[in-house]
A and B are shown apart, each in its own frame.
Chain A
Amino acid sequence: MSLLSKLFGKKQSSASVAKDRLTIMLAHERVDCKLPYLDDLRNDLIEVIKKYTSVDDVKITTHNNQSVDMLEVEILLGKK
Chain B
Amino acid sequence: MGTIITVTSGKGGVGKSTTTANIAVGLANLGKKVVAIDFDIGLRNLDMILGLENRIVYDVVDVMEERCNLSQALINDKKAKNLYFLPASQTKDKDILERDKVKKLLNTLKEDFDIILIDSPAGIESGFEHSIFLADRALIVSTPDVSSVRDADRVIGIIDAKSEKAKEGKEVEKHVIINRIKPEMVDLGNMLSTEDVLSILALPLIGVVPDDEDIIGSTNIGIPIINKEKSLSAESYRRISKRILGEEVEFLDIRAKKGLFKTLKSMFK
Contacts and interface: CB of A to CB of B under 8 A. Distances in A.
Interface of A: 1-5, 13-16, 18-19, 21-23, 25-26, 29-30, 65-66
A31 to B, nearest CB: 11
B187 to A, nearest CB: 9
Contacts of A30: 153, 157
A3 B153 CA distance: 32
A26 B151 CA distance: 10
A21 B192 CA distance: 12
B227 to A, nearest CB: 33
Contacts of A23: 200
Nearest to B147: A22
B146 A21 contact: yes
A2 B269 contact: yes
A22 B150 contact: yes
Contacts of A13: 188-190
Interface string B132-175: 00000000000001100111011001000000000000000000
B200 A26 contact: yes
Given A2-B188, A3-B267, A26-B200, A15 B150 contact: no
Contact of A65 (B124, B149, B191, B268): B124
A26 B149 CA distance: 10
Contacts, number: 55
Interface of B: 10, 123-124, 145-146, 149-151, 153-154, 157, 186, 188-193, 196, 199-200, 266-269
A5 B145 CA distance: 23
- If over half of B's interface residues share one DSSP class (helix, strand or loop), that class is named, otherwise mixed; here it is helix
Contacts of A14: 189-190
B150 A25 contact: yes
21 contacts: A1-B189, A2-B188, A13-B188, A13-B189, A14-B190, A15-B190, A15-B193, A18-B145, A18-B146, A18-B192, A18-B196, A19-B192, A19-B199, A21-B146, A22-B146, A26-B150, A26-B200, A29-B154, A30-B153, A66-B123, A66-B154
A16 B154 CA distance: 21
A66 B200 contact: no
A21 B138 CA distance: 26
A14 B188 CA distance: 9
A2 B196 CA distance: 17
Given A26-B150, A26-B200, A29-B153, A16 B189 contact: yes
A48 B268 CA distance: 66
Nearest to B193: A15
Contacts of A21: 146
B267 A2 contact: yes
A66 B157 contact: no
Contacts of B190: 13-15
B200 A15 contact: no
Nearest to A16: B189
B213 to A, nearest CB: 22
Nearest 6 pairs between A and B by C-beta?
Answer: A13-B189, A2-B269, A19-B196, A2-B266, A15-B189, A3-B267
